[in-house]
Amino acid sequence: MKLTAAFLGFCLFVGVAHAAVLPDPPEVNARAHLLMEFRSGELLESQNPDERLEPASLTKMMTVYVVFSELQEGNIRLDDLVLVSEKAWRAPGSRTFIEVGDRVSVEQLLKGVIVQSGNDASIALAEYIAGDETAFAGMMNSHAERLGMQDSNFTNASGLPDPDLYTTPRDMATIARALIRDFPDLYQWHAIKSFEYNGIEQKNRNRLLWQDESVDGLKTGYTRSAGYCLVASAARGDMRLISVVMGAPNAKRRTRDTAALLGFGFRAYETRRVHGTGEVLTKLRIWKGESLEAHLGIGEDLYLTLPRGEHDRLVSIIEVEEPAIAPIAEGAVRGTIRVRLDEELLAERPLVALHPVGLGSLWQRLGDSIRLLFR
């Protein structure tokens, strides 16, 4: 490795550099909570983020993820008609008021799940996709495992109480990020304030949709044993936050504490793209190649969330692997970039070739072979 003199973001300080002073986070009256930045995945504030808790209707976020996935894969369509079973019709709790024997479109059922939190609509979709709710729960768990939700287990599509149904605030933030990232167009349905089916209009239980125009989702939940739960997301400028509150004492408190968490996050922190995909971060001398150099960069955008005012103190240090001898494939790892704040390493990413470099002519290869002997 060769350490280059590339400091891609830096400031010079006279005297001692002082870290930003954060405001105090809000007090949250719940069993567990967290606040996470969407792009960077940085955990900004939390209490008991990995405690296994009953999710109630937060379960439906995973139900929706499975349905969105099936739509994306082309296995189902929004205009498919679903035959409502007696089991779906009899589902207790919150309902979309579908009737047994009716044929209801996937789109209507999805909106019934997302907006009205319909247990009946959730079961109808599960049966249509997987044959029965147990098999659908297996699909939910497969997606959860793939997404890295290590402390969740799903046993039904609705979130009705079950001793083997559990999740954590961190896992709920994970599925929230996945819904926003993987299905940006369909995710917008989480901002719908009301939905009418069978002549009955119901309002979205996420009251923040009326109180804060930056909030565009996601899901509420309640059972007597789970308490009041809310996963919310808000975007202001280039920053998006995800808040999870589980086990609040009442609906008003879950809304108030979620608003306080989001407000704290936007006041105290900012997210910036430190380096972008395809950005040329350094150039690497290539020996025996058809060109003398290759451009190096990172494979995906690097976002960092820091206290406000701290981004200007970041230092990016590049190390490259030398000598680099052709051929060099596009995407080949040829170094490392490390981003530091003072003595703390915040991020480390491989540097890859942004374009291929093929072998040079015979005379170029012979000449570079001689030059390398005296290098």
Per-residue tokens: 105: 């479109």
Instruction: Name the residue among 210, 205, 212 with its Cα closest to residue 231.
Output: 205
Angle of CA points 219, 132, 191, to nearest 5° = 20
Per-residue tokens: 22: 């954060």
Strand partners for 352: 297, 333
Q: Do domains 2-13+274-373 and 47-209 have the same CATH topology?
A: no
Percent above pLDDT 90 for the chain: 84
Catalytic residue among 57, 94, 122, 158: 57
Asked about 214 being catalytic, the answer comes back as no
Mean pLDDT, rounded, of the chain: 92
Percent above pLDDT 70 for the chain: 94
| Confidence tier at 183 by pLDDT (50, 70, 90) | very high
Task: Give helix 169-182 / helix 60-73 axis angle, nearest 10°.
Answer: 30
Catalytic residue among 46, 85, 117, 233: 117
Residue 232 · residue 215 · CB < 8 Å: yes
Question: 203 versus 10: which is more confidently predicted?
Answer: 203
| Cis amide leading into 323 (omega within 30) | yes
Asked about 117 being catalytic, the answer comes back as yes
Domain 2-13+274-373 has CATH 2.60.410.10: yes
Task: Give helix 119-130 / helix 133-147 axis angle, nearest 10°.
Answer: 90
Looking at 183-307, list the stretches that DSSP marks H as alpha helix, in order from N- to C-terminal side: 184-187, 208-211, 251-268
Instruction: Name the residue among 160, 161, 175 with its Cα closest to residue 94.
Output: 160
CA distance 138 to 144: 10
Is pLDDT of 13 > 70? no
Strands (E), the chain: 2-7, 32-37, 43-47, 81-83, 103-105, 194-197, 200-203, 215-223, 227-236, 239-248, 269-275, 282-287, 293-297, 302-307, 314-320, 324-325, 333-341, 344-353
189 Ramachandran zone, left/alpha/beta (phi>0; psi -120 to 50)? alpha
- CATH code that applies to domain 47-209: 3.40.710.10
Strand partners for 230: 220, 245
CA distance 128 to 115: 20
Annotated domain spans of the chain: 2-13+274-373, 47-209
Per-residue tokens: 330: 């596009």
Per-residue model confidence (pLDDT) at position 368: 61
Is pLDDT of 9 > 60? no
Residue 285 · residue 371 · CB < 8 Å: no
133 CB burial (10 A radius; 0-12, 13-18, 19+):
buried
Is pLDDT of 88 > 70? yes
Catalytic residue among 40, 60, 111, 288: 60
Per-residue model confidence (pLDDT) at position 19: 59
* Mode of pairing for the β-strands spanning 324-325 and 344-353: unpaired
Residue 364 · residue 288 · CB < 8 Å: yes
Asked about 85 being catalytic, the answer comes back as no
CA distance 343 to 345: 7
| Confidence tier at 79 by pLDDT (50, 70, 90) | very high
Residue 229 · residue 221 · CB < 8 Å: yes
Instruction: Name the residue among 131, 196, 154 with its Cα closest to residue 63.
Output: 154
Is pLDDT of 64 > 90? yes
